[in-house]
Amino acid sequence: MVTVSGTLYGPQLSQKIVQINGRHFDLRAQGINLIIHYVDRPGALGKIGTLLGTAGVNIQAAQLSEDAEGPGATILLRLDQDVPDDVRTAIAAAVDAYKLEVVDLS
């Protein structure tokens, strides 16, 4: 289960994601979003980007939130399309993800 908090901002009341599972974010709430909870190590973001790019999936926006303690992190990626199951599996294995979720806000 994913717990997402949002807010409205600006004169046009645009929707914004401000928290996911207790972690702070600041991204527009729209489109297809990949949320990865993983062990943060050098090269992890590069591996994620390479696997998505090889599959033809474009990252439109991204934000990272580190754990307060320990080596964990959560990244929120807004994508131009859904991620095939085999690519999700490859990403999870490449970065030691302990949770990987897709949230479609289209």
The structure tokens 């302990």 sit at: 98
Sorting pLDDT into bands at 50, 70 and 90, what band is 27? confident
Largest Cα–Cα separation, the chain:
43
Query: What Cα–Cα distance (Å) separates residue 30 from each residue in 1, 70, 102?
Result: 19, 30, 12
Walk me through the domains of the chain, giving residue ranges and CATH numbers. Answer: 31-104 (3.30.70.260)
pLDDT tens-digit readout, 30-83 = 899 999 999 989 999 999 999 999 999 999 999 998 876 778 899 999 999 999
